[in-house]
Amino acid sequence: MSSQRSPLAPQAFPDLPAIGGVTLRIARAGYKDWDRCDLTLATLSPDTAVAGVTTQSRCPSPEVEWCRKALVLGQARALVVNAGNANAFTGRHGREAVETITAAVAREIGCAPSDVFVASTGVIGVPLPTDKAEAGLAAAFSADPCGWEEAAATIMTTDTFAKAAHASAVVGGQRVELVGIVKGSGMIAPDMATMLGFIFTDAAVEAEFLQAALRSANAESFSCITVDSDTSTSDTVLAFATGAAGNRPLSSEDDDGADAFAAALADLCRQLAHLVVRDGEGASKFITVAVEGAESDASAHRIALSIANSPLVKTAIAGEDANWGRVVMAVGKAGEPAERDRLSIRFGATQVARDGLAVPDYDETPVAAHLKDAEVEIGVDLGLGDGRATVWTCDLTHGYIAINADYRS
């Protein structure tokens, strides 16, 4: 556990509205030997719709498998998040832990177990202790409700700051609010959803449309970030819509306000995704990689990820070194269409290479100045077509090594 707050963290936790129909509580299950709350319980009003996206890992946790099944029904009454133990790769024991948790919550609030969603995060390979989970749940149910900051802090593991964001929209004349909390700082690679994220809105939204809107928002946000190219076994983003705002339920993109809601959801997801990058393990720079001129958007996305995942690019940025040759290397290794002699590269607003070689009289001074900032942009133009994509990542520093050569226990 790193305790020093990321230098890229926002100054303060944001002011967030309550979301009608959502009640948050936290408790100490004691999944690890630590002095903090590690179980989060959100209870949701009846008729809450749910949507979700989960990891593409071939070795998902039983929580992910549970959520995938429950998502088919599209309704939710509760969410439980365990921090400190991912419960992944734990076989039958892991599945039993999920069943125990969902059954206990269902009993308490009088719903079906399939209305209860569960996510766990932490070390892989250790079955979640069901006795601690049950005691933690009992403590949570008897606790006073808490606010967003407490909940956002309770789902953290190696995170150095609590992450949340807010968006709003007007739907059929009715203002609706969306709040999301998220955790993640390592094992972050965008193969669908990445890390754990939970979004709550008081908008009335039918599950099918909520799913479509979340899938689309995810493609432009969580699927466009990477810290270390490693994909978690537990990645889950869930969106819950309680309907407390009283708008006429959104059921398709043609409905009045559907565009506004989808845009607000996309904005929220992008804010949350950026917060994850800002807490990337050891991060000292927030890096935007913008690729254009590729043969297709998908090709641009893969090239952008090749750059964003390159250890040599990430260490160069950490060293504030304008080593653009490493960007060439990362484009070249992406396996996507590229023509060396049409390739152009910029750092920030400064063109460093054009059409396959350094610009004439290249002056490194403005680039060196840009690289000293906490926010760095790498721009690549393939010169081939109209494909474009943007991804976000952080640099690779001694901090990443220090955190990951020691983390566990």
Q: Which residue ranges make up the annotated binding site for substrate?
A: 157, 183, 194, 281, 404, 409
Q: Rule CB under 8 A: choose which of 262, 330, 367, 389 binds a copy of itself.
A: 330
- For residues 54-83, which are near a copy of itself according to CB under 8 A? 55-60
Shortest Å distance, C-beta 166 to a copy of itself: 31
**b/e code 86-105 from CB counts within 10 Å (16+ = b):** bbbebeeebbebbebbbebb
Could you list the residues known to form a binding site, using ranges: 157, 183, 194, 281, 404, 409
State the number of binding residues for a copy of itself (CB under 8 A).
73
Task: Determine the Cα–Cα distance for residues 337 and 332; give it in Å rounded to an integer.
Answer: 9
Binding track over 300-329 against a copy of itself, x by CB under 8 A: ---------xxxx--xx-xx-x-xxxx-xx
* Residue with Cβ nearer a copy of itself (43 or 90): 90
Q: How many residues does the chain have?
A: 409
Are 194 and 276 in contact, with CB atoms under 8 Å apart?
yes
Residue 226 a catalytic site member: no
Catalytic residue among 154, 194, 288, 397: 194
349 binds a copy of itself (CB under 8 A): no
Please give the DSSP secondary-structure letter assigned to residue 46: E
Long-range contacts of 358-365 (CB under 8 A, 24+ apart): 364/322
- For residues 234-273, which are near a copy of itself according to CB under 8 A? none
Task: Determine the Cα–Cα distance for residues 173 and 193; give it in Å rounded to an integer.
Answer: 31
33 binds a copy of itself (CB under 8 A): no
334 binds a copy of itself (CB under 8 A): yes
- For residues 82-111, which are near a copy of itself according to CB under 8 A? 86, 88-94
- Residue 232's closest CA among 222, 240, 217? 222
CA distances from 20 to 45, 200, 242 (A): 8, 9, 7
Please give the DSSP secondary-structure letter assigned to residue 359: P
* Residue with Cβ nearer a copy of itself (137 or 394): 394
Are 7 and 156 in contact, with CB atoms under 8 Å apart?
no
- Find the part of the chain contacting a copy of itself (CB under 8 A) among 21-29, 143-151, 255-263, 332-340: 332-340
- For residues 131-190, which are near a copy of itself according to CB under 8 A? 186-187, 189
**What phi and psi, each to the nearest 5 degrees, are found at residue 394?**
-130, 175
Enumerate the active-site residues.
194
